[in-house]
Structure 1
Amino acid sequence: MSVNSADPSGRFEAPKTVDVVLVKAGRTKIRYPADLLHDDGTHVVVRAAWAGAGVRDFGFVRFEPGDVFTEHYWRDRWYSVKEVRTSEGALKGWYCDIARPADVAPGEVVCEDLDLDLWRSADGRTVVRLDEDEFAASGLETTDPQAASAARAALDELERIAHEGDFEALLT
């Protein structure tokens, strides 16, 4: 079901706002409002402005005020993918969080971050695995080996897709 689809009279609904809640180690890391663009029961898509404070420079990409994130969450996948664009609409790339499948409730999308991340630049030349040290330090491999295995498999899958080139196909 597309939230922005036309109703029988031909009018379009305004996007509904939901809160995106990113949880890490049992605590809310960040909560921010986003426009709900799509929810088909498995795949949820929201759009939000950069919710961080100021500029975040990773060296290979900068997230800054005005950037727009179109975020894809799934109820059955161990990751989320955020398409990142400048305020002018230029594609910067995709930031992928390895996470438990999203929990979607009325008015919110909750995603539990499992520390592993992947960045793929818009041109596909830069693919970077991130935060593997944080993942190792989290202790998840001891406390929940099945989740740790699913997280590593998700990171490997995303990296393979990122190198194959058709990353946008993942988002459909």
Structure 2
Amino acid sequence: MTGATTGALPPGSDITVRLVKREREKVRYPARVIGDDGNHVVVRAPWAGAGVRDFGFVRFEHGDVFTEHYWRDRWFAIKEVRDARGSLKGWYCDVTRPAGVDGATLAVTDLDLDLWCSADGATVLRLDEDEFAESGLTEEDPQAAAQAWAALDALERLARNGGFGPLLAV
């Protein structure tokens, strides 16, 4: 389904976000469409985890709200994370294949590489490079692997040079 499109999703509509990793569904959760220009889809959803997920540099927990940005032509997704009071925690970025929309499902394929940028921009961390190396994608699909590395590099440049602001405008 990735790359498929059925046109722009109407703001306010409900959608299911489906994250696939190595051909297995990793997570599925409901979200509300904030905007969709036919390429850039923005949804909002509460933290979908069963409990607290403590990464050491950030905790995702009940009450957190994610405003998630997906593109049908980019190899990443950017998730703005706010706590229950609305305070910005930062941005969690996933390197993915371009998003696909089929009916009321937005599907993305996670390619293991991630980036974290704290709310103040002082902490920018490249994550899971070891998982990516072990995934076998470099051997299986060298072009996709090159796209994934380029996406991670682009995200890091944006994070270190003023942030994601213009890219995330709805």
TM-score (norm 1): 0.92
Q: Is the 8 A contact 2:121 2:163 kept in 1?
A: no
Q: Is the 8 A contact 1:21 1:109 kept in 2?
A: yes
Aligned residue for 1:157, secondary structure, equals helix
Give the structure 2 partner of residue 95 of structure 1: 92
Matched, 1:81 2:78: yes
Structure 1 unpaired stretches of 5+ = 5-14
Aligned residue for 2:77, secondary structure, equals strand
Structure 2 unpaired stretches of 5+ = 1-7
Give the structure 1 partner of residue 133 of structure 2: 136
- Inter-partner Cα distance in structure 1 for 2:47 and 2:165: 21
Structure number, greater radius of gyration: 1
- Inter-partner Cα distance in structure 1 for 2:9 and 2:119: 26
- Inter-partner Cα distance in structure 1 for 2:134 and 2:9: 40
Give the structure 2 partner of residue 7 of structure 1: none
CA RMSD, Structure 1 to Structure 2 (Å): 1.1
Aligned residue for 1:76, secondary structure, equals coil
Matched, 1:34 2:31: yes
Q: Is the 8 A contact 1:2 1:37 kept in 2?
A: no
Of 25, 44, 49, which aligns to 1:47?
A: 44
161-170 vs 56-65, which deviates more? 161-170
Give the structure 2 partner of residue 67 of structure 1: 64
Counting only pairs closer than 5 Å after superposition, residues 104-143 of structure 1 correspond to structure 2 as 104-143=101-140
Give the structure 2 partner of residue 3 of structure 1: 10
Quick one: percent identity of the two aligned structures?
65
Number of residues of Structure 1 aligned to a counterpart in Structure 2? 162
Q: Is the 8 A contact 1:99 1:113 kept in 2?
A: yes
Deviation per CA, 1:82-101: give whole Å up to 9, x if none: 00000110000000000000
Which structure is higher in RCO with an 8 Å CA cutoff and minimum separation 6? 2
- Inter-partner Cα distance in structure 2 for 1:140 and 1:113: 12
TM-score (norm 2): 0.93
Aligned residue for 2:112, secondary structure, equals strand
Deviation per CA, 1:16-63: give whole Å up to 9, x if none: 110000000001000000001111110000000000111001111000
Q: Is the 8 A contact 1:21 1:28 kept in 2?
A: yes
Q: Kindly state the Cα deviation for residue 166 of structure 1 after the two structures are TM-superposed.
A: 3.0
